[in-house]
Amino acid sequence: MSLVDAGRRVLVVEDERAIRQVLRLNLAARGYLVDTAVTGRSAVDLVQRWRPDLVILDLGLPDMDGLEVIARVRGFSAAPILVISARDTPTAQAAAIAAGASGFLLKPFGIEDFVARVGAALRPDACLDGCLGASPGGCLAERSVS
C-alpha cells in the first residue's frame, strides 16, 4: 500500500465470519479504514452512509444475491466493487462485471493477491480484469489479444 492509500475507506461485505475477520484485520494492518457488513441490505445502507472508496463483495449473502447488491449500489455510487466469490464459472464472473463490478477474485485466494487487487482497485486508472481503462462501475474497453 502506498501512502496515498492510507486512510482509504474499504467496506468488506462477507457473511462468513472467519473470512470477514481475516480481510478486515489484513486491510486495517495496512492502514485502510475498514467497516464490514454481513447482509446485502446492510451493505447498501453502509455504502450510502459511509461512502467507501472500495467495496469488497461476496456474491453469496443471506438476504440477497450479490448481483442485486451491485445493481443497487450502482444506482448511487461509482465506488469500485471487487467481488470475492466461490462461484467458479465464467458466467458468474461475466455477470458480476456486467452488473458493474470492477473485478472478480475467486475463493480461495491468497492474502497477498487480495491486497494487490485492493491496491489496484484504488488506483485512479483501476481496471482489474484485463481492460484498457476504467469507468465508474466497470471497464471501458477490453484489451485485444493479437
pTM of structure: 0.83
Residue 121 maps to which CATH number? 3.40.50.2300
Q: Are the CB atoms for 101 and 81 separated by under 8 Å?
A: yes
Q: Residues of the chain with pLDDT > 90: what percent?
A: 77
| Residue 39 forms part of a structural domain | yes
Distance separating alpha carbons of residues 110 and 29, to the nearest angstrom: 16
Q: Which domain holds residue 38?
A: 9-139
| Residue 132 forms part of a structural domain | yes
| Residue 106 forms part of a structural domain | yes
- Examine the pLDDT at 123 and tell me if it is beyond 80: yes
Output the furthest CA–CA distance in the chain (Å, rounded): 45
| Residue 24 forms part of a structural domain | yes
Q: CA–CA distance from 112 to each of 11, 20, 30 (Å)?
A: 18, 16, 12
pLDDT of residue 24: 98
Model confidence band, residue 2 (pLDDT cutoffs 50, 70, 90): low
Give the total number of structural domains in the chain: 1
Taking only the tens place, the pLDDT of each residue in 5-29 is: 678 999 999 999 999 999 999 999 9
